Amino acid sequence: MGQPESRAAENAELPPGQRLQRGWPVTHYGPVPRFKPERWDFRVFGATVDGDKHAWTHEEFSALPYDTVTADLHCVTKFSMRGVEWGGVRARSLLSLAPPAEGVTHVMVWAEYGYSANLRLADFAAEQSVFATHRAGELLTAEHGFPVRFVVPHLYAWKGPKWVRGVEYMTADRRGFWEERGYHNLGDPWREQRYSYQEEPGEGPEL
Ligand SMILES: Nc1nc2c(c(=O)[nH]1)N[C@H]1C(S)=C(S)[C@@H](COP(=O)(O)O)O[C@H]1N2
Ligand SMILES: [Mo]
């Protein structure tokens, strides 16, 4: 009420408690890792359908099918960004290149220094989930996750590790880095699932 039309539209449809952020802040725990191309690989392991581990060098990973996804980003510290264009490899592409075994229900996305985030397989496999190498057509910068960051736009952004190194297929849920440290196991911003004390029975493993 009393707001200019454009401002009202801008504020429409953000998840509860979120506000828009101009620019692109850098938010993470710990140092920015240095990329060493000769030592870098991207692995899929755990309960794969054939029991094999999969690994791609940086060159191989860069040659995987490239898609773009445009989506909003919601940080649990309450800032949101609109319409970010990511480019990279869809989680779905990875799932078809390295299929999970039938009993897989969850995945852990692993990053440098042991950072991790757990997801339900269905969230991981969502159409907009992407291992981004680019933003707005430009390679990611080091502080934003170069060479690869995971983006799962329908969950809070901590569910998307920067500096990803692999994916573990799991037959049971296990908490990741922030999920062990007080953040919600599921992290749906539309349901404002910020903290683990808000979890309903069945929404996460015992703490
Ligand atoms: N490896 C790693 N990835 C991470 C984090 C982190 O601490 N470590 N923080 C997450 C959080 S809380 C947010 S909001 C986004 C921030 O991404 P940005 O710095 O590119 O804006 O990265 C996510 N990915
Ligand atoms: Mo965040």
Q: Give the closest residue (by CA) to ligand 1 atom 5.
A: 28
Nearest residue (CA) to ligand 1, atom 21:
26
Cα 162 to ligand 1 centroid, rounded to whole Å: 6
Query: What is this structure's pTM?
Result: 0.95
Q: Can you tell me the distance from the alpha carbon of 130 to that of 114, in angstroms, rounded to the nearest whole number? A: 20
Sign of the torsion formed by the C-alpha atoms of 62, 148, 18 and 182: positive
Mutational test site, ligand 1, from 18, 28, 144, 146, max ligand atoms within 8 Å of CB: 28
Ligand 1 in reach of 160 Cβ (< 6 A): yes
Q: How far apart are CA 19 and CA 79, in angstroms?
A: 5
Ligand 1 binding pocket includes 170 (Cβ within 6 Å): no
What pLDDT was estimated at residue 10? 59
From the CB of 75, is ligand 1 less than 6 Å away? yes
Decide: 157 in ligand 1 pocket, CB within 6 A. yes
Domain ranges of the chain: 16-22+36-198
CA distance 62 to 148: 10
Q: Is the CB of 132 under 6 A from ligand 1?
A: no
Chain segment 23-68, per-residue pLDDT in tens: 999 999 999 999 999 999 999 999 999 999 999 999 999 999 999 9
- Centre of ligand 2 to C-alpha 22, Å, is 15
How confident is the model at residue 207, as a pLDDT? Answer: 87
Report, as an integer, the average pLDDT of 89-116.
98
Torsion of CA 80, 86, 88, 90, to 10 degrees: 60
Distance of CA 12 to the CA centre of its chain: 24
Distances (CA, A) of 126 to 42, 155, 163, 183, 186: 20, 11, 20, 21, 14
Reported as a single tens digit per residue, the pLDDT across 112-131 is: 999 999 999 999 999 999 99
In the CATH scheme, what is the code of domain 16-22+36-198?
3.90.420.10
CA distance 136 to 83: 10
pLDDT band at 2 (very low <50, low <70, confident <90, very high): very low
Say if residues 148 and 131 touch (Cβ distance below 8 Å).
yes
Q: Residue 160: nearest ligand to its CA?
A: 1
